[in-house]
Amino acid sequence: MRLQKFLAEAGVASRRAAEKLIRDGHVEVNGATVQELGVKVDPGRDLVSVDGQPVKPRRKLYVALNKPKGFICTRSDPEKRRIITDLLPPEWRNLYPVGRLDHDSEGLIFLTNDGDFALRLTHPRYGTRKYYEATVEGRIEPSQLSRLTEGIVDEGERLRAARVRLVSSSNTRSVVEVELAEGRNREIRRMFKALGHEVTQLKRTQIGRIKLGELRTGKWRTLTEPEIKSLLPKL
């Protein structure tokens, strides 16, 4: 791991500020001052210090949360709306959400302080599948379901579900399971709106192999080691 990244992940400073600390001669590795930015360290073996104070690796945390409606996925909000980190213990308020669920959506979301983990779950090239249950107004016809998987162009973007399944349907409401390989902003709501149906409830039920299960609304749990490994693509 590059030294400046280690310092940033340990909470010493931002990546850019850590680079300045290194260049200015404030950082030592195994007792020797380092001023080159390309130096790599092994957090488990090397002793890193800043101005003589040892720097310990920050414990990496991986949390699954059942987000309620009415909360936004950010660590701060100038409009003083409720944020999902309010649902965590005070000492975990530094965690950040992996991806997003909009204000009116609910369900499974992860929070972490591991930037690599977040990147691998959100970058399109890794293709982490996400599963949703959408309740929409009116009756959904089979021909409309096929349009969701074929793709719909909205606002210049091509929106496409990897898989859909009709759970129930009536003249007033329908429930559809939707699987996405690549999530775009408010994608499911936009797809159904293009078909003439308003989404009245949207819940994310699964990310990769991790299911929402019995986790109650507003509650959280830490991910197990096997769960974490199942979410990381093999390189």
User: Domain spans of the chain?
Assistant: 3-55, 62-125+210-231, 129-207
What stretch of H or E contains 82? Answer: none
Is residue 235 pLDDT above 50, yes or no?
A: no
According to the model, what pLDDT value does residue 79 have?
A: 86
User: Could you say which of 24, 51, 102, 154 is catalytic?
Assistant: 102
Fold (CATH) for 3-55: 3.10.290
Mean pLDDT, residues 157-169 taken together: 94
Distance, in Å, from the CA atom of 141 to the CA atom of 149, rounded to the nearest integer, reads 14
Q: Among 88, 114, 96, 98, which Cα is nearest to 10's?
A: 114
Is residue 120 pLDDT above 50, yes or no?
A: yes
Q: Clarify whether 102 is annotated catalytic.
A: yes
Distance, in Å, from the CA atom of 4 to the CA atom of 35, rounded to the nearest integer, reads 11
Q: Among 108, 137, 97, 127, which Cα is nearest to 212's?
A: 108
According to the model, what pLDDT value does residue 232 have?
A: 86
Mean pLDDT, residues 161-186 taken together: 93
Contacts of 45 (CB under 8 A, 6+ apart): none
- The class of domain 62-125+210-231 in CATH terms is alpha beta
Mean pLDDT of the chain: 91
- The class of domain 129-207 in CATH terms is alpha beta
